[in-house]
Amino acid sequence: MRPPAGPRPRARTTGALAVAIVNNMPDAALRHTRRQFSDLVREAVAPRPVEVREYTLPGLRRSPEAAAYLARNASPVSALLQSAPDAVIVTGAEPVAARLEDETYFADLVRLLEWSAALPTQLLLSCLAAHAALLAIDGVRRERLPAKLSGVFDQDVDRSRPGDASLPATVPLPHSRLNDVPTERVRAAGYEVLVSSPETGWSIARGSIGRCEVLLSQGHPEYDGSSLLREYRRDVERHLAGESPPPVLPSRCVAPGDEAHVGSFHRSLLEGRRPERLDLVLPVEELASRAPRPWHAF
């Protein structure tokens, strides 16, 4: 890989941490994703101020409403390539093609990785973006899982590095994905696995691409307590419209007191029963107001 040469102008002149978010999420999740990652960064670096700028890759099909939102709030990724932020976050995206390299935005994502490699910056690659980097940079291909991995899973934390002994031994972390890269291949590519579990494999790994420090994340530490439940409702709606098979019910996606109700609804769905009013039998806003997010405590 040949990173672009030459100095880049700074993204800003204030003392704030300049963070670029390349938001590739589906239309309904655009606003939530920007807010979730912005909140995650602000919690991590507080009390330092944070300046967030949003960017978008070309090639992603958007509804008129989503395109209007991006026109108001985001810049094309070509503008990012003329700056030098302190950190870059590249979100995942909903898989469309069977092979990553056949996604319409893959070539632009590879150019973004090549640009990042030339900068002494920090890069967080989430879910599909992490898989794309492993393929483009290291030649490591993702594998399709037998079923969607979705839920909150307890994770083991590597506390062997100096200064990490104060970290908790285990943390809960959400996952929501159809694909996986085996842990041994991630390690063979030179990445250090920081967070993992037998159920999910690796969740967060650290390495570098050129001058750039990289965090790969198969998990979703940015999620709200309601994110998995909202994804489940989306998948239920697609199933009821005849677009997909019955969805997977995410583990621990609601408050403990709501698990019996949601489980009963899911069993009825698997039995082929169709609700007359989805909003009544699966009141997402009400359930979401009680959904916990214990991973934000770490």
Amino acid residing at 148: K
**CA-closest candidate to residue 25, choices 106, 129, 114:** 129
**CA-closest candidate to residue 94, choices 189, 2, 28:** 28
CA distance 8 to 292: 42
> Can you name the residues that pair with 171 across neighbouring β-strands?
155
**CA distances to 55, 57, 201 from 60, in Å:** 12, 7, 29
Tokens 């419209």 found at: 241
CB atoms within 10 A of CB 256: 9
Please identify every residue annotated as catalytic.
127, 220, 222
Contact 140, 184 (CB under 8 A): no
| Alpha carbon 152 to its chain's center | 14
Q: Which residues contact 146 (CB under 8 A, 6 or more apart)?
A: none
CA distance 235 to 7: 45
